Each structure stands twice: as C-alpha cells, then as structure tokens.
Amino acid sequence: MENTRRNIAGLSTTRQGLPLNIGLESVCTFDLVTSAPAQFNETVSIRYGTSQNTSNDYFSNNLHLGQFSANSQSILVDGQSYNNNFTARYGQFIAPKECYIKNINGFINTAGGGGCNTAETFVISVWKKSSVAGTSSTAISLLFSQSFVFTGSSNTNVLAIDGVTDSKVGDKLYKINSKEGVIVSVKRELEERQEPCANINAKFTIIFEDINNEAETKSLSFTSLVLDESKFCTMLSEPPQKYKHSRSGDSETVIMKE
C-alpha cells in the first residue's frame, strides 16, 4: 500500500502529492478576493483636568485637540438635539461613507491622583451627530460609553478602554451615515459636595468598517503542464487580460488590473 499511486485531478502522485509522471496536464484552481471591507481608524488622545469641575460632558478643545476642556454645558442625553456647531468644533472624525464602529481599544490612567482620598468615576463616550447648513439643531446618538473608577493613590494604575464593554460596538444597526461627525466626550461623576481631585490621560483607537462589507471572491482556473519533478509548472493557457500573473522565487501572484 505504501507504494500505491493515487490519482488527483488526472495527475499520478505519491501519497505526499509530488508529481511522478512528466508531461501530464493539470488544472489549477484558486479563489481571488476581488473586494474586501474598507476600514478606517481614528486615534483619540484625552487630557482632562481638575479645572473641569462640573459633571457636564466635555469636548476636545478645537485649538488644542488633546485638551478636553470645552464644556458642553450639559450632561449629554442620547437622542436629544444640540447645537448644530458641535461637529465643526468638536468632531474627531467625519464618516467618508456609511460605516459602523468595529472596535475600540485603548488605555486610561490618572495624573495627580496619588493624594485623592475618595474614588472618582470618569465616563468616556463616543457619539455621532449630523450637521446641516444653517443653524438648526440636530440629534446626537450614543455609539459607545464606558465608566472607569479610580481609587486614591492610583497614578500607576492603568485601566483598559475596550469596545466589548458596550454591545453597540460591532453592531451594524448603529450605523454612521456618510458625512456624519463622530464626537468624543468625557465627564466626571461627582457625588454631592465632592471636589475633583485627579486629572486623567487616555489614548484609544476607534476602528470603523464599511457597512457593505461582504468580501467577494472569484474562482480562477489555469491549465498547467509539469515539466520536471520540481514544484514548478508551466502555464498552458494565459489568464484573462484583466489579470496579471507573476512569479518571484517560490511565490506566484495573480493581480487584478485596474
């Protein structure tokens, strides 16, 4: 049995699949990916200080993007309408096409929190908001929110910003329309009579993916002729003109021409 030859696609072979008979034709078939999901990403840096001493949501300062010192003048509510200038002033990202948040990853820690006597809670949120020409207010929609609790003496403590903590991340139902703005806010949840104690630093990356993200493949078949007992073969038929075939060393490539 060990010396029995097996026939694969008309080619006599050993059990390991090495060609034995020279001059036999074989059809090589493989899949070529012709389209794939488009992805984009945006990295957000946050510096949020004790001078931001209310429970309101704060936005990025449009003159110093990493400084979240622009007071929204409210605790933002999902679905409520706000000033039409939010995206122009505080937006982190403008969607080039319909997309959704695929993932969020990053880290947050405190500065100046070593002397804090009580725990502090911070909330980072990601919103979408459309803008229109003119002055009409538009609704804001929540795409992600995560809370972080830091106890005293926590300057070296780092917590993860992770999209898996919010079920809206990775869900295509939470669609961002083309030209809508993505806005990040941060707030401090203060108890009654509690004074801000720690600053925070954070950095995280938002990965967006095209809504129409089904990969497409096409099956390509070429007839080849084995010339010797090496792993290389000669193509008998040329691929369609829209494909370019090349070989470098041990690798073969088929590229779709524009």
User: Average of pLDDT values for 144-162?
Assistant: 86
Return the SS3 of 207.
strand
Residue 11 included in any domain: no
The answer, yes or no, to whether residue 72 has pLDDT greater than 50, is yes
Residues 30 and 137 in one domain: no
pLDDT more than 70, % of the chain: 69
Are 162 and 249 within one domain? Answer: no
What average pLDDT does the segment 75-89 reach? Answer: 94
The fraction of the chain above a pLDDT of 90, given in percent, is 48
Say if 155 falls within a structural domain. Answer: yes
Are 200 and 125 contained in the same domain? yes
Nearest to 83 by CA among 138, 143, 141, 126: 138
* Residue 197: both structure tokens together: 């104690």
C-alpha of 186 from chain center:
21
Distance CA 246, CA 5 (A): 32
**Span of 29-33, 37-41, 66-70, 121-125 with lowest mean pLDDT:** 29-33
Q: What is the pTM of this model?
A: 0.71
Residue 254 has what pLDDT? 44
- 224-232: long-range pairs with CB below 8 Å, 24+: 224/25, 224/26, 224/27, 224/28, 225/23, 225/24, 225/25, 225/26, 226/11, 226/19, 226/21, 226/22, 226/23, 226/24, 226/26, 227/22, 227/23, 228/22, 229/18, 229/19, 229/20, 229/22
Q: What is the CATH number of the domain that holds 124?
A: 2.60.120
pLDDT-wise least confident of 118-132, 138-152, 215-229: 215-229
- pLDDT at position 82: 95
pLDDT interval class at 191 (50, 70, 90): confident
Instruction: State the pLDDT at residue 190.
Output: 81
Question: In this structure, are 143 and 97 located in the same domain?
Answer: yes
Q: Which two tokens stand for residue 160?
A: 């993860």
State residue 123's pLDDT score: 97
- Residue 2, domain member (yes or no): no
Residues 29 and 50 in one domain: no
Could you tell me if 194 and 95 lie in one domain?
yes
Which pLDDT score is estimated for 71? 95
How does the average pLDDT of the chain come out, rounded? 79
Same domain, 180 and 149: yes
- Position 156 confidence tier, pLDDT thresholds 50, 70, 90: confident
167 or 231, higher pLDDT? 167
- Which pLDDT does position 120 carry in this prediction? 87
Claim to verify: residue 30 and residue 122 sit in the same structural domain:
no
Judgement on whether residues 91 and 27 belong to the same structural domain of the protein: no
Structure confidence at residue 7 (pLDDT):
42
Identify whether residues 28 and 50 lie together within a single domain. Answer: no
With cut-offs at 50, 70 and 90, classify the pLDDT of residue 69.
very high
By three-state DSSP, how is residue 139 classified?
strand
Q: Classify residue 144: in a domain, yes or no.
A: yes
Q: What would you report as the CA-atom Rg of the chain, rounded to the nearest whole angstrom?
A: 28
On whether residue 242 sits in a domain, the answer given is: yes
Q: Compare 174 and 231 and report the one with higher pLDDT.
A: 174
Quick one: how far is CA 91 from the chain centroid?
18
Q: Map residue 165 onto helix, strand or coil.
A: helix
Q: Are residues 62 and 185 in the same domain?
A: yes
Q: Which domain holds residue 252?
A: 23-35+222-256
28 and 125 assigned to the same domain: no
Per-residue DSSP letter, 143 = E
DSSP state of 167: T
> Which residues, in sequence order, are bridge partners of residue 32?
218
What is the per-residue DSSP string for 34-60? EE---EEEEEEEEEE-TT--SSS-EE-
pLDDT at residue 56, rounded to an integer: 94
**H-only helix segments in 94-192:** none
Task: With residue 31 as reference, give the H or E element that holds it.
Answer: strand 25-35
| pLDDT band with cut points at 50, 70 and 90 for residue 5 | very low
pLDDT beyond 70 at 214: no
For the chain, the domain total comes to 2
Residue 9 lies in a domain: no
Residue 1 lies in a domain: no
Residue 17 has pLDDT above 50, yes or no: no
Specify which of 32-36, 41-45, 149-153, 198-202 reaches the highest per-range mean pLDDT: 41-45
* Rounded Cα gap, residues 188 and 176, in angstroms: 27
- Asked if residue 15 is part of any domain, the answer here is no
